[in-house]
Structure 1
Amino acid sequence: MDEQHGRARADHFEIPCIGVIGVLIEAKDKGHIRSVRSYLDALRKEAGFHIGDQLYRRVLRDEGEL
């Protein structure tokens, strides 16, 4: 499912949601993964998932990986 479409539908029905990047951040915070960078890179390069450069850099900066 397109994440943007899914978020719009969830908002319409007032269902809280978290995107794939949020899931990665939460996984790191809980110690399930050590770094989000490799997953973000794989999403971009292997899965064709669009993550804009500004968001990519912000996530890495906020997670102390830049």
Structure 2
Amino acid sequence: MIVVADTSAISNLISIGRESVLESLFGGVTIPPAVENELLNWHRDIPDFVTVMKPVDLDAVLSLESELDPGEAEAIVLASELSADLLLIDERKGRIAADRLGLRSTGLLGVLLQAKAAGLLGSLKPILGELTERAGFRVSPAVRSEFLKLAGELE
């Protein structure tokens, strides 16, 4: 399975010490150089299961950078070039751009739901708490409610 990631999912999971969930689910994750730079701005190391690969079509990257940040733009172009099975991206504008290119995408919350379904994680409610408190992950009350409902953990 080819999985390309933007910064958010990896960075947030590193912040709470749960980055191994990505390796357990996907084996490996590929990121473009802009995402590598963003990760290294926040974290000392990048996990060993993460591979850095540069997108080839720099014109496509530049075109997407008119609406997205460099990490998102490079990740989307790289996912398209690799015919990735999945793109990990949280930002709404990025997901819309990925959808325009026919890419299958999910965000951090989708990854957590997959990990729970695979038996890799127990309750997601405390993990969501860690993400908001320690990693600064933002989620609206409506999305939080829907997420916990999907996880079977709605109060």
TM-score (norm 1): 0.80
Identical residues among aligned pairs (%): 32
Shift of 1:9: 3.5
RMSD of the TM alignment (CA)? 1.7
Task: Indicate the residue corresponding to 1:63 in structure 2.
Answer: 151
Residues of 1 paired with 2:126 and 2:108: CA distance?
Answer: 14
5+ unaligned residues in a row in structure 2: which ranges?
1-6, 9-89
Among 119, 126, 131, the residue aligned to 1:31: 119
Computing the radius of gyration over CA atoms, which structure comes out larger, 1 or 2?
2
TM-score (norm 2): 0.38
Larger helix percent? 1
AA at the equivalent of 1:19: G
Larger strand percent? 2
Deviates more, 1:1-10 or 1:22-31: 1-10
Counterpart secondary structure, 1:58 = helix
Among 78, 90, 108, the residue aligned to 1:20: 108
